[in-house]
């Protein structure tokens, strides 16, 4: 039997959405405290921003020594490292880490921009060379 914790989180988020505004902020901050206190880019943000963004975050655990994405992949998510170890590695050199990502940091945003630019370049190139 498989337990779906995402379904529980969706039910909680739906319950919070239906609360009055001030109570919604307080309950959301309480529910997501573990996450937002560990993510550096949430520091100094308003409670309204945090209570809006945190329900949108989806936990995504990865097994040890698992690649999250490869160079050249289209990246569609921003990742926030709350626990564990993560870094950029060189697969050709026995996965030697050249950038270690500290807890509370995020990654993927530069790769998303790069993916968009790469796709745009490929489209522009196709239009330019189309006969």
Alpha carbon distance 97, 123 (integer Å): 33
Alpha carbon distance 50, 105 (integer Å): 16
Say if residues 90 and 96 touch (Cβ distance below 8 Å): yes
User: Each residue of 67-123: pLDDT tens digit?
Assistant: 888 877 777 788 888 888 888 888 888 888 888 888 888 888 766 555 555 555 554
User: Each residue of 28-50: pLDDT tens digit?
Assistant: 888 888 888 888 888 888 888 88
Q: Write the CB contacts of 76 (distance below 8 Å, at least 6 apart in sequence).
A: 112, 115
Structure tokens at 93: 């050199």
Report pLDDT for 116: 53
Compute the chain's Rg from CA coordinates: 19
Cross-strand bridge partners of residue 13: none
């Amino acid at each position: 039997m498989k337990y779906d914790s995402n379904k529980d989180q969706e039910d909680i988020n739906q319950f919070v959405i239906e609360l009055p505004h001030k109570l919604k902020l307080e309950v959301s901050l309480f529910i997501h405290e573990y996450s937002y206190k560990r993510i550096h880019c949430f520091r100094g943000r308003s409670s309204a921003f945090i209570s809006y963004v945190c329900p949108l975050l989806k936990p995504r655990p990865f097994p040890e020594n698992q690649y999250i994405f490869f160079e050249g992949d289209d990246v569609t998510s921003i990742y926030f490292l709350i626990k564990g170890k993560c870094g950029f590695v060189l697969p050709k050199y026995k996965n030697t880490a050249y950038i270690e990502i500290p807890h509370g940091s995020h990654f993927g945003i530069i790769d998303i921009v790069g993916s968009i630019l790469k796709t745009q370049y490929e489209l522009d190139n196709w239009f330019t060379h189309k006969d």
